[in-house]
Amino acid sequence: MKKSIVVLLSFLTLISCSKSQTVDAEKSANLDHIAIKKSMIKALEWQEAHPIFAIAPTDWTAGAYYTGVARAHKTTKNMMYMAALKNQAYWNKWQTYDRLHHADDVAISYSYLYVARNEKRRNFVDLEPTKKFLDTHLFEDNNWKAGTNKSKEDKTILWWWCDALFMAPPVVNLYAKHTKQPKYLEAMHKYYMEAYNRLYDKEENLFARDMRFVWKGTKEDRKEPNGKKVFWSRGNGWVIGGLALLLDDMPKDYKHRDFYVSLYKEMATKILEIQPEDGLWRTSLLSPESYNHGEVSGSGFYTFALAWGINNGLLDKKHTSAVKKAWSSLAACQHEDGRVGWVQNIGAFPEPASANSWQNFGTGAYLLAGSEILKLK
């Protein structure tokens, strides 16, 4: 009974959020480019004024946020984004976080690489910490690679959780492109395939978060209340958002590119198929009634990835209306001061959000979405 009341209140709050849009939010929802850009800058300014991280300023939450900032700059060329990117990189001393075996801790390097490719000032960028991380992460042994870390999550491959496919592969791919060293791309593909073979459900075309959620045909299999498999919205958002980043930088003639294109198309088709009527995906993709309100971080990554697919010819333009609907609902979740609400907090499976729940990676997803929505015809 209590859960039903919470769900109802959350749903009513989302509707209230939608109905209380400002004129600027309404214009943003209608793809008025000036309003969208204004909305994105407000999100940036609010987030920069309210820093937050899980472990350190170089952790995965900041990595995801500044990836969104980088893509916003790529589209708009607004120097406010570049200023934020350069400032954080300078104060971070271009460092990754310190768990060199852990994909999360190199996500911040996407922003460093973006600055390196767009900043012409000599001796400003330092990619040595990124190189150190990638060389250790990809080419040296650790207990995950060795398969000795037996646990419920089964940490016996390098990228044992689906979030990792956003955190590391786009960085490795961009580093390979920047340094013209294909060995990094080959290593990326090796570890990507390990995760794909373990976590991708070919019946549902979605990724399990980790081995706890992979069905094995036993009574211990985790199920939603409706009996369906557990597929986390943000977890799959990490994957398809990462695929869009990967394909954007991956060489067109890369021998394994077709695999990533096919995976992207399969996931995009599924995500479009299960999009709720109001445009925002629920935290549990196959059991939307579990928490029947939209969630911004997963939905932001989907909006980014789907819009990117349309803009780059991988998705039919007939899906433009669905992507516009998603952006309209995302824009309605931004507060007057620029804060982006309805973001599920840090987690590893479906949980509720609220109008007042926010995280920097949610802002990153919002900026990613806006960066591609601006390109829609």
Q: Please list the active-site residues.
A: 163
Helix (H) or strand (E) holding 117: helix 109-118
Helix (H) or strand (E) holding 207: strand 206-207
Give the Cα separation of 245 and 171 in Å (integer): 9
Give the Cα separation of 81 and 182 in Å (integer): 30
* CB distance 216 to 277 below 8 Å: no
User: First vs last Cα of the chain: how many Å apart?
Assistant: 46
Give the Cα separation of 183 and 189 in Å (integer): 10
Reading the block at residue 367, the tokens are 């900026």
Q: Which of 350, 221, 208, 353 is nearest to 287 (CA)?
A: 350
Tell me which amino acid residue 138 is. Answer: L
Give the Cα separation of 325 and 121 in Å (integer): 41
Reading the block at residue 112, the tokens are 């460093």
Give the Cα separation of 38 and 134 in Å (integer): 36
Cβ-based burial of 136 (10 A; exposed 0-12, middle 13-18, buried ≥19)? middle
* DSSP 8-state code for residue 206: E
* CB distance 268 to 315 below 8 Å: yes
